[in-house]
């Protein structure tokens, strides 16, 4: 079964195109490294919760939108190898200066699918 890595981040609404441009630029690198699927989703209907919600999870400000993303990998071992490649590839380091959001507020994690219909 595949392995999934999910991300949630707050991006200033004014930076939507910059975010999309960077995601489009890194997508081929991620594919080269071993990511089998790369999905970026822009906030459309993100309600405020009573106890918690996506916006609170990333401390989104009034002028920010929530981005929900995920990568699919053939396995957890491939994910580990891809992370190492990402951290050590000079092209990735070069693009680090182009981040259109506050990476300190990103939440992410790896997940084992338990149902895929």
**For each successive 10 residues of the chain (117 residues), what is the average pLDDT?**
93 95 92 95 96 96 96 95 90 74 90 93
pLDDT of residue 97: 67
Residue pair 27/38 in contact by the 8 Å Cβ criterion = yes
pLDDT of residue 103: 80
pLDDT of residue 108: 94
pLDDT of residue 92: 81
Helices (H), strands (E): how many in the chain? 4, 4
pLDDT of residue 4: 97
Chain centre to alpha carbon of residue 99? 12
pTM over 0.85: yes
Contacts of 58 by beta carbon, 8 Å cutoff, 6+ apart: 8, 9, 10, 66, 105, 106, 107
Where do the domains of the chain lie, and which CATH numbers do they carry?
A: 3-111 (3.30.70.100)
pLDDT of residue 93: 78
């Amino acid at each position: 079964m595949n392995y999934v890595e999910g991300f949630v981040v707050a991006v200033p609404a004014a930076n939507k195109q910059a975010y999309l441009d960077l995601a489009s630029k890194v997508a081929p690198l991620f594919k080269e490294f071993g990511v089998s699927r790369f999905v970026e989703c822009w906030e459309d209907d993100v309600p405020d919760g009573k106890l918690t919600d996506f916006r609170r999870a990333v401390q989104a400000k009034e002028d920010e939108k929530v981005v929900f993303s995920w990568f699919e990998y053939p396995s957890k071992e491939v994910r580990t190898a891809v992370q190492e490649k990402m951290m050590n590839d000079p092209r990735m380091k070069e693009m680090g200066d182009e981040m259109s959001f506050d990476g300190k507020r990103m939440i992410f994690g790896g997940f084992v699918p338990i149902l895929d219909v």
